[in-house]
Amino acid sequence: MSTASLIRLLSLSAIWGGSFLFMRIGAPVLGPVLLIEWRVGLAAVFLLAVGRVLKKRLDLRRDWKHFLVLGLFNSALPFLLFAFAARSLSASLMSILNATAPIWAAVIGAAWTRRMLGGKALLGLLLGVAGVGLLVGFDASALAPGAGASIALGLAGAFSYGIATQYAKAARQVDPFANAHGSMWAATLLIAPALPFFPAVATPSLGVAGAVLALGVLCSGIAYPLYFRLIKDLGASSALTVTFLVPVFGVAWGHFVLGEPVGWNTLAGACVVLVGTALVTGFSPARVFGRPPQPAVLSEAGVPGAPGAPGVRAP
């Protein structure tokens, strides 16, 4: 891995890890629905501008149904679920729950194909469950009113990414930039009807406005082109590397910016979840450095095969 690729990898992980921080800042003020509408709307406009510069157009007549599915399961639904969870959960805990997405994808794939998971994958699944239990069982915030429901919402968000992963494996091949661009417009349209029922909770401050801008432009608009370049240079192995690095940055941002406590259970639970993810996906660090680039796709969840990136058909 070159120095430039390593910088891109760390930058992307830091950006996607920061998305949970920005949701934690914005959701209690704007409310989950308005926050995510701003996020996907800003990302769509930003990608429209980038597409004009790159002369990349959307084929809506052919791909509009495809974009709607991606927009629902890879953007609108998981973003909303995590935003609702962000009203009570820490950014650290959300970033770790998000890392279970590849485990859910494996379970959904096994159920869809009616094939049993292998021994390592089953062990990884059990470790993932144990890791979440360790995080929740020893976290004082998990005892707060509504925390249990928020944890379930975070896991449901990761589950949605798993659905997107399986869909992407069977979907028609579409240009990766078009997947990212079209799915953001689709998510914007899907969320819009709910806006009248979920008004802003309070008037946003300058800091909240900055968090919203960062979510839309940085975490969704800029992150995808950065990821495309990473995939081009490193291939599929880099996708799983992001999966393991996002929780590291998510915990760090939550601790240093919001002062969230990092207890032994946070570190231990995160490690158990990530080991489980590695077993389920068959991840090996050697792939990052020793294999030639292979086609892959990735969502913000770090899920190989998810919409929005090059390869299988795409954080």
Give the pLDDT band (50/70/90) at residue 10. Answer: confident
Q: Which residue has the higher pLDDT, 5 or 125?
A: 125
pLDDT tens, position by position, 228-267:
666 666 654 455 577 778 888 999 999 899 888 888 888 8
Indicate if the pLDDT at residue 298 is higher than 50. Answer: no
For the chain, the average pLDDT equals 82
Least confident span in 9-13, 60-64, 300-304: 300-304
Q: Provide the pLDDT for residue 238.
A: 53
Q: Does residue 40 have a pLDDT over 50?
A: yes
In one letter, which amino acid is 143? L
Residue with tokens 């495309």: 228
- pTM equals 0.85
Highest mean pLDDT among 8-17, 105-114, 182-191: 182-191
Please tell me the predicted confidence (pLDDT) of residue 207.
93
For the chain, give the secondary structure using H, E and C.
CCHHHHHHHHHHHHHHHHHHHHHHHHHHHHCHHHHHHHHHHHHHHHHHHHHHHHCCCCCHHHHHHHHHHHHHHHHHHHHHHHHHHCCCCCHHHHHHHHCCHHHHHHHHHHHHHCCCCCHHHHHHHHHHHHHHHHHHHCCHHHHCCCHHHHHHHHHHHHHHHHHHHHHHHHCCCCCHHHHHHHHHHHHHHHHHHHHHHCCCCCCCCHHHHHHHHHHHHHHHHHHHHHHHHHHHHHCHHHHHHHHHHHHHHHHHHHHHHHCCCCCHHHHHHHHHHHHHHHHHHCCCHHHHHHCCCCCCCCCCCCCCCCCCCCCCCCC
The span from the CA of 61 to the CA of 35, in Å, is 29
Show Cβ contacts of residue 23 under 8 Å, excluding neighbours closer than 6 positions: 35, 82, 83, 86, 91, 94, 211, 215
Question: Residue ranges per domain, the chain?
Answer: 3-290
Please check the confidence at residue 214 and state whether its pLDDT lies above 90: yes
Report yes or no: 189 and 37 within 8 Å, Cβ to Cβ.
Answer: no
pLDDT at 29 over 50: yes
Q: What is the average pLDDT across 159-178?
A: 83
Give the amino acid at 312: V
Cα 42 to Cα 24: distance, rounded to the nearest angstrom: 18
- Does 191 score more than 90 pLDDT? yes
CA distance linking residue 133 with residue 148, whole number of Å: 12
